[in-house]
Structure 1
């Protein structure tokens, strides 16, 4: 594994950069290459020593969801079933993921700010999905009425596609459908859709609206 160490990776990148500069700008002029070699090897001219930043270790809580005293028991049951089925809920989640669940079911607004790869998505998907399952279980009349119950907004289409894939793996599977039907006795499971600037139907609707509102001089 030494070949993939930080030091070796840095040396390889530096070497390739210098080789590129020599090939692209010096060509076959060996005299010019030799004159500039020491200059290119000097730190601060073309390269610098690597800056290493260690990511913080996020605190995991063993059986954190089931041990929480603030998460409702039926929500624990729902998420516990998802844990057993491998549907994107974890046995030992991060502490901030548990805090997000607790805050949500305490009626608080959430603002989550953590590093990359710290599980921010789960901080809102777990409350959202469990709330939908909870509604289907506890309020059949309400659940029978179709409508938008949650909306997720993202600044880029790439994020939309990534998060849609995450959501599909959590609730778009046969395993979730079977879990949902067994737990709620309802056949209509939660559905989701995606709308971006590339969504053709939405664009056509907007064009039709503009045309209806257009008044010639």
Structure 2
């Protein structure tokens, strides 16, 4: 995959997070390309949570180095069109929320009460009425973690890293011990049989509830 930094050279990153629905996306990308830094040896362009067609349009205007979008064991929609498109065009993938907003860590259970200010209180997948159904996926991750002598978080991250060499998840945390735990995900190894087994087991599970509140889903076009 294209390097984002090498030999100590400067890297400029231009990122469009949410594109206005009133502006042509090709025009947005052209405007961004004019901001290209002549001092940059490598430049990375990140495209938001959009479909394969938009990625192709953006890439035709200015080469895209990486796409940042949600992807995890409990949100696998990118596998249908996005990931094949990225692989074809040589674009890296930077999945956010690789731990399912903490759900895949196993630290959220049926008795967990989220604070009123916690964003997840507005996320349908964390609603009390569907949480029990979604715990089945957590149980699967825990089972694999036991076999691999790792934590559920490390399994969720290691699974992503094993999918493609150009997939780099970005888990968020404010705690040093969680950061160290997350880094351990890179040490978990998965064989082709391991991945196939997880896929087979996960395919039998149905994740309940939308991944985001409806207002945000409308913005992402998903």
- TM bin, normalised by shorter chain, reads under 0.3
Which is richer in strand? 2
Q: Given the two structures, how large is their TM-score scaled by the length of structure 2? A: 0.20
Q: Given the two structures, how large is their TM-score scaled by the length of structure 1? A: 0.20
Which is richer in helix? 1
